[in-house]
């Protein structure tokens, strides 16, 4: 997808017991999760309770040189983070992990997701005297845990108490001086997996591909609402906040966010996307000569469409992997202008052909129109676009940066109108009723609020992403 929606963040943690080069393990884990966020990244290493952190704006390969990794030293555990910010702007101060030093000891924390009550919690904490140094809701989580720690006996008890105050989506990795802890929100909006390397090294990661990157074997997913504590005694579980089986895993983990080689809640991401393509072929058949996919997440769905329809699949686009994703450009026009640089059509595949083009979504429609223009210029005779997600109709408040309902093209136009606007001969979306068919029976529920408006938690108190990054003249204080 190019210039449409934005990635999630990615979290990683490793507990090695013995002093080792855990910084390098975290580096390789983050490298595998780079697709989930490219604004900033960071690693914190814990050596016998002394936590050292290095983080900056940029991608993993640029931020972490041999020198910066060496500066982290060795340790028994580490956590890492790659960020795409949904609350708080792009700056080094919002990079994670955050390290908090307080009366009961130090703590390093990183999280994936978005709190729906971050503004209310921040206001409450500020009125009690807390001073915030970032504009992200990760610091709200850290201070809420710290506040609860004053009245509890352990860091995991403080986290459990804090989770009763936190609303929205979050998967957390946390280090105390002696423990590595992972947690998911009670509805499990964001994934978190547990892996084991050797006999006694535990790994936590947003996706199983990061476990593979460090040679860890997948054990299981952290359950919604569960806290897992890893220390010298091994791994133990706390389920005080589990919601009794109800789940709301973000469906876009399957459609777009996760890597195809990851397994999320028991379902292969590649297979989920392939099934989406097959369903599109059943719901929206068309006579055509070739099926192509928009890299990267449209490719698996295109294969599924081809297999179901019998129309040959071909590589229709070549993606330049050496420039950043188009969505990280600050201006929409700049994002659109870079589509041509980043994506090139294989002319011999589409020239004089009736083409089925598969992409994972249409948000504003401008980028889709640019891609269609590339195909027309390459000689495509007909272009039939199929989208492996339903139309976006509502904003997302749980970590996907779709926060402006008026900018969603499906809110203002019918499917036929959208087809004319972006310049295709026909357009078909995946049906909302087909979303459940993408996953295995092990997944009890999906969040589809961006398509249906059925939010799993109250979103009435959500504030805009940039609230704490605007100039004083742009808003009045409450």
The share of the chain scoring above pLDDT 70, in percent, equals: 88
Judgement on whether residues 142 and 219 belong to the same structural domain of the protein: yes
Paired tokens of 372? 């269609």
Judgement on whether residues 14 and 78 belong to the same structural domain of the protein: yes
User: According to the model, what pLDDT value does residue 102 have?
Assistant: 86
Q: Is 138 strand, coil or helix? A: helix
User: According to the model, what pLDDT value does residue 440 have?
Assistant: 82
Looking at the structure of the chain, the number of domains it has is: 2
**Residue 86 binned pLDDT confidence (cut-offs 50, 70, 90):** low
**Residue 444 binned pLDDT confidence (cut-offs 50, 70, 90):** low
Q: Does the residue 261 lie in any domain?
A: no
Judgement on whether residues 186 and 228 belong to the same structural domain of the protein: yes
Give strand pairing partners of 12: 80, 205
Provide φ and ψ at 351, rounded to 5°: -60, 125
- Kindly report which listed range (242-256, 350-364, 416-430) carries the lowest average pLDDT score: 242-256
Which residues does 199 contact at the CB level (< 8 Å), separation at least 6? none
9 in active site: yes
Q: Does the residue 58 lie in any domain?
A: yes
Q: Does the residue 278 lie in any domain?
A: yes
- As a whole number, the mean pLDDT across the chain is 89
pLDDT in tens, 392-414: 999 998 877 665 788 899 999 99
Point out the domain boundary residue: 214, 247, 280.
247
Q: How far apart are CA 299 and CA 380, in angstroms?
A: 19
Judgement on whether residues 187 and 283 belong to the same structural domain of the protein: no
Judgement on whether residues 243 and 289 belong to the same structural domain of the protein: no
Judgement on whether residues 16 and 131 belong to the same structural domain of the protein: yes
User: According to the model, what pLDDT value does residue 328 have?
Assistant: 40
For residue 377, the domain's CATH number is 3.40.50.2020
Q: What domain range is 430 assigned to?
A: 271-441
Q: State the catalytic residue, choosing from 9, 41, 250, 443.
A: 9
pLDDT in tens, 316-340: 999 887 765 444 444 555 555 667 7
CA distances from 86 to 17, 94, 201, 244, 406 (A): 34, 11, 32, 28, 18
Judgement on whether residues 277 and 355 belong to the same structural domain of the protein: yes
- Kindly report which listed range (53-62, 270-279, 462-471) carries the lowest average pLDDT score: 462-471
Paired tokens of 211? 């476990």
Q: Does the residue 422 lie in any domain?
A: yes
CA 164 to chain centre: 23
Judgement on whether residues 90 and 16 belong to the same structural domain of the protein: yes
Q: Does the residue 324 lie in any domain?
A: yes
Provide φ and ψ at 298, rounded to 5°: -80, -15
pLDDT at 474 over 60: no
Judgement on whether residues 213 and 301 belong to the same structural domain of the protein: no
Burial of 259 (0-12, 13-18, 19+ CB in 10 A): buried
Point out the domain boundary residue: 178, 212, 247.
247
Judgement on whether residues 280 and 167 belong to the same structural domain of the protein: no
Q: Is 168 strand, coil or helix? A: strand
User: According to the model, what pLDDT value does residue 340 have?
Assistant: 73
Q: How far apart are CA 382 and CA 372, in angstroms?
A: 10
For residue 199, the domain's CATH number is 3.60.20.10
As a whole number of Å, the CA-based R_g of the chain is 22
Q: Does the residue 341 lie in any domain?
A: yes
Nearest to residue 241, comparing CAs of 159, 173, 176?
159
Note the pTM of the prediction, 2 decimals.
0.91
More confident residue, 222 or 467: 222
Q: Does the residue 375 lie in any domain?
A: yes
pLDDT in tens, 64-76: 999 999 999 999 9
DSSP 8-state assignment for residue 312: P
Judgement on whether residues 240 and 280 belong to the same structural domain of the protein: no
- Kindly report which listed range (84-88, 187-191, 250-254) carries the lowest average pLDDT score: 84-88
Q: Does the residue 257 lie in any domain?
A: no
In degrees to the nearest 10, what's the CA dihedral of 130, 397, 26, 330? Answer: -90
Judgement on whether residues 135 and 77 belong to the same structural domain of the protein: yes
């Amino acid at each position: 997808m190019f210039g449409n929606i934005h990635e999630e963040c990615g979290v990683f943690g490793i507990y090695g017991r013995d002093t080792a080069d855990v910084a390098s393990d975290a580096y390789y884990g983050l490298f595998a999760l780079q697709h989930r966020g490219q604004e900033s990244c960071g690693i914190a290493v814990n050596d016998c309770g002394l936590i050292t952190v290095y983080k900056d704006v940029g991608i993993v390969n640029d931020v972490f040189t041999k020198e910066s990794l060496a500066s982290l030293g060795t340790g028994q555990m580490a956590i890492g983070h790659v960020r795409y910010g949904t609350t708080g702007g792009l700056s080094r101060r919002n990079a994670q992990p955050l390290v908090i030093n307080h009366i009961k000891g130090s703590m390093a924390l990183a999280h994936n997701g978005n709190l729906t009550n971050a503004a209310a919690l921040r206001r409450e904490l500020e009125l009690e005297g807390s001073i915030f140094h970032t504009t992200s809701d990760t610091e709200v989580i850290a201070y809420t845990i710290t506040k609860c720690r004053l009245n509890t006996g352990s860091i995991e008890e403080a986290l459990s108490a804090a989770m009763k105050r936190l609303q929205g989506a979050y998967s957390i990795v946390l280090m105390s001086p002696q423990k590595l802890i992972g947690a998911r929100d009670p509805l499990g909006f964001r994934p978190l997996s547990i892996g084991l390397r050797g006999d006694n090294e535990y790994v936590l990661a947003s996706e199983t591909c990061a476990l593979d990157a460090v040679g860890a074997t997948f054990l299981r997913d952290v359950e919604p609402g569960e806290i897992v504590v890893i220390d010298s005694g091994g791994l133990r579980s706390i389920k005080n906040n589990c919601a009794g089986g109800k789940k709301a895993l973000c469906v876009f983990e399957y459609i777009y966010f996760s890597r195809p080689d990851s397994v999320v809640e028991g379902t292969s991401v590649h297979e989920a996307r392939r099934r989406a393509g097959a369903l599109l072929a059943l719901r929206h058949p068309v006579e055509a000569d070739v099926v192509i996919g928009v890299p990267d997440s449209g490719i698996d769905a295109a294969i599924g469409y081809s297999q179901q329809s019998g129309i040959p699949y071909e590589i229709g686009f070549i993606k330049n992997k050496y420039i950043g994703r188009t969505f990280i450009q600050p201006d929409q026009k700049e994002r659109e202008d870079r589509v041509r640089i980043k994506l090139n059509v294989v002319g011999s595949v589409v020239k004089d052909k009736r083409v089925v083009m598969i992409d994972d979504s249409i948000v504003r429609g401008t980028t889709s129109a640019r891609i269609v223009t590339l195909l027309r210029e390459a000689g495509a005779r007909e272009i039939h676009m199929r989208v492996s997600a339903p139309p976006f109709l509502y904003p997302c408040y749980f970590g996907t940066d779709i926060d402006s309902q008026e900018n969603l093209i499906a809110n203002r136009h019918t499917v036929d109108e959208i087809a004319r606007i972006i310049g295709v001969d026909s357009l078909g979306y995946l049906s909302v009723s087909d979303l459940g068919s993408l996953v295995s029976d092990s997944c009890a529920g999906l969040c589809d609020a961006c398509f249906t408006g059925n939010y799993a938690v109250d979103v009435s108190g959500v504030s805009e992403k940039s609230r704490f990054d605007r100039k004083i003249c742009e808003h009045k204080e409450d």
